[in-house]
Structure 1
């Protein structure tokens, strides 16, 4: 009996495979949850280029920054689930926002399917030359001696940069002031300008 069921399933499978429409049947949209100019934007554009080459279909990058990726994720969740709108998800869009917002307008576990890890991004802690710290212990000592006088920038509220630096400041014991920017590019520009 098992052999017949297996044979029947094997014979039916090619018919099911042929019933599937070609994908993609039209241009794809790749939504990047941050403004242009940052690492996520660059990564999204490189990914779009590779997808275009491999799939033979146009891939349009849409930047929809705001609220730590919430704006983009909500937008993508409301699109037709036909595989033609993709999102470069982040820790914020898929995990952090569930805990940061009392009423999240989308369900990251139910409305999204992870299809690939695209990159692992490391955070780097840097200071301007005006801060008298040559290493991490020096920065911690300076922060403790000058509570509230150090500012730290991030790509926006609720993102990985913000939460990682907030945790660092809390554990280092030195009160630091969070300055959220509209994306990583703006945060880096402000850092360079002092």
Structure 2
């Protein structure tokens, strides 16, 4: 009876090690592909990583969960060939944009405005995908003079009968678990690869 249990435990450990090695290899390959495709600018709220593609009419592409500037560029990359300048920041906590200790959707929107100011861009069409829609909406509300249009792709939003902070206040534990999962490269990788 003891040997089957030991065999099972050994198999479990070896499987976990193999999975981790595959994850590590994929992450190294991804980082190598992303290297050199972005810059970092210092804003009043902190550093913001961004990527740019194309020339012409400016589009601010705000990514959802599970990506960064690269996801923003992937959303609308083909537009770069049709006379658009794509500006894709990494949201707070993604890739090389650190999460400030205390941040809000409003401060994220202000960081976008500061990024545009530093790039010398006056107005943009704002595209927010999934979880990026929340800060895209705040950008349009807080900086209407910079927003020519707002486009939301599969927008994440709050339930209409709740205020934004109301649902989070009800369950800090659930919020912590959800945010930890959303920030986990390993969980996203596992969902796609395994």
Whether these two folds match at TM > 0.5 is no
- The structure that is helix-richer by fraction is 2
TM-score, normalising length: structure 2: 0.37
Structure with higher Rg: it is 1
